[in-house]
Structure 1
Amino acid sequence: MLVASVSDTLESAIPGPERQLRIRMVVALVLIALLPFAFVYTFLFLANTVGIALISLEDPRSSSGFGIDPILLTVVVLGGIAIQYRYGPRAILGSVGARRVERDEYPNLHATVNRLSTQIDLPTPGVAVVHSNVPNAFAVDGGDRARVVVTTGLLETLDDEELEAVVAHELAHLRNRDANLMTVAWLLPTITYYLAVVAFYVLYGLFQALGSTRTWTRGSSDKRGLVYATVIITICAVLTMTVSAMFWFASVLLYRVLSRHREYAADRAAATITGSPAALASALEKLAETMPDQPDEDLRELDGGAEALYLAPLEDRAFGSKELVSTDIFPDTHPPTEERIERLRNLARDEL
C-alpha cells in the first residue's frame, strides 16, 4: 500500500515536469538515432562529390560513386547504441574511480538506497563510492548495472536528511529513465571526437613525413604521385575534422540541453519522495558553497567526462579549465543552482 501510494503521489503531484521530460527524452532519442545516419550520409555526399572530383584528377575514367547499405548502417548504428548502453555506465564509473561497495562498508547509505527504492517501486540499484573530497553524486543506468554513486566528500558534508534527499534525487533519474539516455547520448560526441583526433594525427604525421629531406630525393614521377597523395590526404583529413566538429557540436548541444531539464524533474521528484523540499535545497546550498573551495586537481579528476551527470555542476568552481566544454558557446549542463534552490524553497512554503 505504501509503495502504491507513493507511486500514485509521484504521478499526480508532478505530471507537468515528468511529461515534459518524457517528451524531451523521446525527441532526444529520435535525434540520437538520426544524427549518426546524418553523419554517415554527410560523409557519403562528400565522398561522391569532392572525393570523386579528386580521383578524377588522376584517372578521369574513375567516376563510380560510393554507397552504403541502409540495412547495414541501421544494424551498425543500433549496435553502437546497444554497446554504449551496456558498457557506457562501466566506462563512466571507471573514469572517476567509482568502486562498488557492500552493505557492511556503508550500512546507512545502503539502507537509505534500499528504503527509498522500495518506496517508489524501483529495483534497488547498486551503490558505488568515489574517494574524493569534492561533495557530489550521480546515477548511471544499464538495467542490472544501475548505480547510485556518491563521493566520500558528500558523505562527510551532508547530514542524514540531506543525504536522503540527494539519494532520492538520483533515484528519480533512474525512475525517469533519463540516466541511461544520457549515457547513450554520449555515443556520437565520443565517436566524432576521436575521429577528428585521428584525422588530425594523420595530417600531422603526413606533414612530419613531408618535412623529411629523404621524401623529396626521388624521381619526378614519384614526386608527382607524392604531391597527388598529399593533396588527397590533406583534403580528406580537413573535411573529416570539419564534419566531425559539426556533428560533435550538435550532439554535445543536444546532450547538455537534455541535461539541464532533467535536473528540475529530479529535484521535484526527490521533494515528493522525501516529503522535504527543504532538505534537498539545503544539500544543494552546501554543495554550492563548498565547490569553489575544492582544489583544481580534485575537480578535474572527478570530471572524467561525467560532468553533466552530477547533482551539482562542476562548472561552479573557481578556476578556468580548458579540458571542459566552454559555456561561452554551449549552455551549462545544469540550471543555475540558485534557481533550483529557490524552486525547492517555494515548494516547501507551499506545503506549509
Structure 2
Amino acid sequence: MVAHAQEERLYDVVVVGGGAAGLSGALALVRARRSVLVIDDGRPRNVMAGRTHNFLTRDGMPPEELLAAGRAEVAEYGGEFVAGEAVAAEPREGGFRVLLEAGPPVAARRLLVATGLVDELPEVPGVAERWGRDVLHCPYCHGWEARDRAIAVLATGPLACRQALMWRQWSADVTLLLHASPEPDPEEYERLAARGVAVVPGRVAGLEVADGGLSGVRLADGRRVPCQALVVEPRFTARAGLLASLGLSAELERSEGEVVGSSVQAAGSGATDVPGVWVAGNVTSLSDQVIGAAAAGVQAAQAINSDLVDEDTRLAVAARRGSG
C-alpha cells in the first residue's frame, strides 16, 4: 500500500528510509497512535544479498520479503508511504518541512532518519559485480554459507589480519592477499601461521568466475589464487545528505588510525544535536546488522513518542490556562 502526498500535510513523525530501522521505528510509532509517513527511495543496502541472517524467526528470508512484510505491518496500523527521495529538510514552526526530489513537501513535528550507508568497495575488477554473493564482508552474515570453502581475504585496510583470523572460524582454508597493504609484522605472521592462514603478496588484478561462481583471483604478475569466496573491507559512508541540510554532518570513523567510514553522531536513543531529529541504523552505527538496526529504530521511536507526549502535555496545559 503506497500513498502519494498531494499537498503539504503535517504528520507527527516523518520517517526517512524504509529499511529495517525505519520500518521498525514506524511500526512502534503507529502503534503509539502517531500519524506517520515513511519516505523511501527503494535502495536498501542489502539489495544484493540473497538472504537475511541472524534475525530471529526470519533467518534466511530474502531482504525484499522482509521489507515487504514490514511495510504491510506498518500500513495495517495506518502508516503511510511515499516512494521517492527526501533531499532536504528545513525547520518550520512546530517541526520541519521535508523536501522531496519529486512531489510536494511534507511537514513533520519530528523526524526519524534511517537512510543507512553506502558500501564503497575496493576498485578491483569484478568485485562490485559479485558483491553480496561470493564477495563478502561480514562473517556473521555470510560465514555459514561460506563454511569449509576456500576463502581469500583482500587486504586493503588495518583490519585485514583480524578479518583473516575471524573467517578462519568458518573454514580451515583461508588465504590473506596482501594486495595494497604492508606485510604483517612478526607477531601477526605468527598468529596467522598458528591458525594455518596462508599469506600471498602481490596486487589482485581481477576475479575469475566459473560455472556461475567465483573460482579464484588473478594477481597482477599472472599468478592465480583459487578461492570460492573473497572477503573485502568496504568503506562505510553514511547517507547523510538530508541531515547535512539541517547542519548535521557525518564524522569520519577510524580503526587503528585508518578511516573506515563515516557516521552521524547521536545519543543512545538516536537523538541528534538538532532538537526533534533522531537517527537509527547504519547512518549512525556502521556495525549494525539488520536485527540491530531494527532494535535501534524501535528505541528511537520510543524516545520520539515520549518527546511528543511531553509536548502534547505542555500544549494542553497552555490551552487550559488560556481558556481559564
TM-score (norm 2): 0.24
Higher helix share: 1
Higher strand share: 2
TM-score (norm 1): 0.23
Q: Which has the larger radius of gyration?
A: 1
